[in-house]
Amino acid sequence: MRVYLDQAATSWPKPPEVLQAVERFFTQVGCNVNRGGYAAAYTAAEVVLETRERLCRLFGFDKPAQVIFTAGVTASLNQLLKGLLRPGDHLLVSALEHNAVMRPLAQLVEQGVSFDRLPAGPDGRLPEDLEGALELLLRPNTRMLVVTHASNVCGVLLPLARLGAFCRAHGLWFVVDAAQTGGVESIHMGAMGIDALAFAGHKGLLGPQGLGGFLVRRELAERMEPLVAGGTGSFSHLERMPNQLPDRFEAGTLNLPGIFGLHAALGWLERTGIDAVRQREQQLLERLLSQLDGLPDLRLLGPRDPAQRTAVAALDFPGRDNGEVAFQLDQAGIMVRCGLHCAPNAHRVLGSYPQGAVRLSAGWYNTPQEMDYTAQVIKRLIAG
Ligand code: PMP
């Protein structure tokens, strides 16, 4: 049996219409947008606009021109952090952030930006007195709060609406990394007070790799310097980047095969409904976890309650080498991700640093049989 349980890294397989849309791009469209005055280019431009509109609907936003395509969450967070923060600025981050936040921040620290981490408990959850904990960290120069919506290590969900309300009350920009939750958890930028949201096209959104982006409120977009400058196919008489959105942050040729694929994936998601996706993924993970509950020499990181987590299970096998466990799973055809998952501090919080953990993540296309098989293999491993 071949079981793909690394959906938190990238989802696989994709809905068949995603592949068909990418093929349609290459066989029937093939051109660029904003550059050609012919019918195919207008068709492509329509798909690009509709993709921005679908992303707005999914994320509770209403400004398609402020949906910016990039190569992924990493590129989006680099743009947002480096484009908005200036020497002397301070920001707050959660203790669970991915290196897509922490590494750009490390570069910014060298330029005089400083940050504090909001503490998290040993199961990854934020303090009960969240507002009190945030207030303790505030400084007169605090500009921004950046959080991941869910930990990519243990799946714990962060309370976006509460964090957003705090940011509004204290004049902070609220930037959210939705890599792990886009297409699975409901997100409403307006209701949650989110100023900028970074998304990955290739995880829960079920599109191709190499495409992601961010949705950003105008006030932030106007303060933000583009990290990459170049041709936009518009305002070509200017030798500086135009102010027009999304052009200002989309220099260079767009990833059109990726956008065609994402367009189809978002159509699939709209028809299927993210509640159905979440429910199915949770049922699958629950089926696995319920067979592992109470086993000796096995520790689940993060909260056990499915309402507080995504369909990600990070397992620590005390007394064993987690890398060896992942190898044994691979031998049995089960694909998982072992190590620190680009989030070393999350592992520190969860007590799994430096040994890391074995992460299994379920997606729409996994099956109950795969979960049963995986549980059996893990039980055999522990018994052996
Ligand atoms: N943030 C989180 C929480 C992630 O899980 C990931 C993907 N591992 C990223 C950021 C980076 O996403 P991408 O590789 O698509 O840029």
Across the range 231-253, mean pLDDT stands at 96
Average pLDDT over residues 114-126: 98
- Contact status, residue 97 vs residue 71, Cβ threshold 8 Å: no
Residue 33 has pLDDT above 90, yes or no: no
Q: Enumerate residues lining ligand 1, CB below 6 A.
A: 9, 72-74, 98, 100, 148, 152, 177, 179-180, 200, 212, 342
Tell me the C-alpha distance between 288 and 251, whole Å. Answer: 45
Question: What's the pTM value of the predicted model, to 2 decimals?
Answer: 0.98
Which residue owns the Cα nearest ligand 1 atom 4?
179
Residue nearest to atom 5 of ligand 1 (CA): 152
Q: Which residue's CA is minimally distant from atom 6 of ligand 1?
A: 179
Question: Hey, which residues does 376 pair with through a beta bridge?
Answer: none
Among the ranges given (40-49, 52-61, 161-170), the one the predictor scored with the smallest mean pLDDT: 40-49
Span from the CA of 369 to the centroid of ligand 1 (angstroms): 28
Q: Is residue 41 pLDDT above 90, yes or no?
A: no
Of the pLDDT bands very low, low, confident and very high (cuts 50, 70, 90), residue 373 is: very high
The first and second tokens of residue 51, run together, are: 């993709």
CA 201 / ligand 1 centre spacing (Å): 10
Site to substitute for ligand 1 among 103, 342, 345, most atoms within 8 A of C-beta: 342
Mean pLDDT confidence for 264-285: 98
pLDDT class of 40 with cuts at 50, 70, 90: confident
User: Which segments of 60-207 does DSSP mark as H helices, in order?
Assistant: 73-84, 99-109, 130-137, 160-170, 189-192
* CA–CA distance, 252 with 128 (Å, rounded to integer): 45
pLDDT at 175 over 80: yes
Is residue 35's pLDDT more than 80?
no
pLDDT at 130 exceeding the cut of 90: yes
User: Mean pLDDT in the chain?
Assistant: 97
Q: What is the dihedral of CA 270, 273, 277, 278, to 10 degrees?
A: 120
What's the whole-number mean pLDDT along residues 322-338? Answer: 97
